[in-house]
Structure 1
Amino acid sequence: MPGGEVPPAAAGLLREDGSVVIPAALAGPVSRILLRDVGARVAVDGGKVAPGVVGLLWALKAAAEREEAAAGFADETPPAGPVSVEVSAGEWAERAGCSPQYARALARTGRVPARRIGRMWLIPESAAIVAPERKDQAA
């Protein structure tokens, strides 16, 4: 195998195509480690997560919940409120079909919900553009 010998514990998790199988029992701990890293990167440098990472995190969360339910663990934590994933203005612009400059202008003027961390605007992934109220539509 390229890159050297794979330890026996890892060999059972590594597929021929290079993908890695994460056992359900490890889904929760792996998810927490990844979330902590993503949160730290965004806080420090506004790091952009690679495509597919958000989907992977949701899959790990679902796998961890199934594993806990199958093991008979009761979820003692109260249900969390809705989860909001924030993305950079550039990433949001790409999804919304506009330029990063326009996305930042929308954030700056409050037409999309956003918060600023340092020089970076973070916009909820699900944010919709709020049309400004026109003067001729006043009540």
Structure 2
Amino acid sequence: MDARGSIAHWISQHAHEDALKGRPLPPGLAALVQQLLQPRSSPERTKQRPPATVEISTAEQAARMGCTERYVQRLCQAGRLPARRIGRTWLITQEDAHDDEDERPSPQP
């Protein structure tokens, strides 16, 4: 018995003991046990999907645009280049990076 089957068995056993004591069955528990008992799809049948978004760093975007990393950071900060910030790092989605590569914004004075 695999781990999923063991978990399903353990949940079923405790749910049965609770039912004997008059405790109600939590909603969705039966569906969860059924889901755990379903065979997992094999890797051959599972289609690999590309990630929803690919993000690049400001350094990589600067190399693509032919400018400095600081300039790209300023574009991100000003909202002229779609990006999100995590700590001190700006991440630019690759699709947005390609779109803006051809239309390099002019520097602000």
Range of TM-score over shorter length: 0.3 to 0.5
- Which of structures 1 and 2 has the larger relative contact order (alpha carbons within 8 angstroms, sep 6+)? 2
- Give TM-score scaled by structure 2 length: 0.43
